[in-house]
Amino acid sequence: MQKEKKQVALSSVFAAIFLTGFKLIIGIITGSLGILSEALHSGLDLFAALITYFSVRVSDKPADIQHNFGHGKVENFSALIETLLLLITCVWIVYEASSRLITGSTHIEVNSWSYIVVASSITIDFWRSRALFRVAKKYNSHALEADAVHFSTDIWSSSVVLFGLICANFGFFFADSVAALGVAVIVLFISFRLGKKSIDVLLDTAPQEKIDLVKLMLSEFKEVKHFHSLKIRTAGADTFVKVNVHLDPDLSLRQVHEICDKIETEIGARIERSEVYIHAEPQEMQHIQTEKIDGL
């Protein structure tokens, strides 16, 4: 698992190096703000890809005495850093595009290389995003998923730049700056999505879809008379589940243990890389009254 995650993350790094250099050279030659903004975007993609590569190397390390819940949140932290980098990109693009539109300095030189670099970017980003999505889904990797979403939006931003180049070829040079603003809008949208998801995990926001799934599964166990205090948190690819269940008070300790094992196994089969902690209580009036007093 770790090997495949590292390989796809490393291939993304090499692709980002190529695209950043290629776009930068063509952007300087043509003076296209759209291509230069894409070069900066790809440069930050490179930095983000490097962060992702190192985060997947660390995140799958087993729990130790200092990190009892593992190192999974390294992936979420790297995704947050990637969001901040995207926001920096937006500030620069909006400033430059606005300045060119206000001053009227929008003339650029469009040649065949302009189209080649943008077409190459779309092709490589399509390949990268598909590979990253596949491995991210396979191993429930938030860092690789963030990278995949990021690079999939590069396809749209490059398409916007391509539109600007085509318009500039017919004398509408201002379209390049407008296209750059279009890139900024796309980047802002993806930044919001990535940032919210990363912050939610870092703040231990309960994943509602997993809560609903566990509630449904617990309701299907006839041995469970009642359950409460369900708490779920995620860290990278890992999910931690804690719940109190009420069982028949006449069951033996061995039977209670077997039921808890069955529940843990079922949840583990439905939620990959999950750790489940179950506190069993007898279904007695004393526990029910205590639960009502506590408001659980």
pLDDT tens profile 97-109: 787 778 776 555 6
153 and 269 both lie in a single domain: no
159 and 227 both lie in a single domain: no
**Residue span of the structural domain in which 223 resides:** 208-294
How far is the C-alpha of 162 from the C-alpha of 154, rounded, in Å?
12
25 and 161 both lie in a single domain: yes
140 and 286 both lie in a single domain: no
19 and 132 both lie in a single domain: yes
Whether 235 contacts 72, CB under 8 Å? yes
Q: What pLDDT sits at residue 2?
A: 61
194 and 229 both lie in a single domain: no
Q: Collect all residues with Cβ–Cβ distance below 8 Å to 172 and sequence separation of at least 6.
A: none
Q: What pLDDT sits at residue 68?
A: 73
105 and 77 both lie in a single domain: yes
**Residue 74 burial (10 A CB sphere; 0-12, 13-18, 19+):** buried
Below-50 pLDDT ranges, the chain:
293-296
Residue 188 sits in a domain whose CATH number is: 1.20.1510.10
Domain boundary among 202, 226, 242: 202
Pairing of strands 226-235, 274-282: unpaired
Q: How many domains does the chain have?
A: 2
Domain boundary among 202, 231, 265: 202
Domain boundary among 169, 202, 235: 202
Residue 287 sits in a domain whose CATH number is: 3.30.70.1350
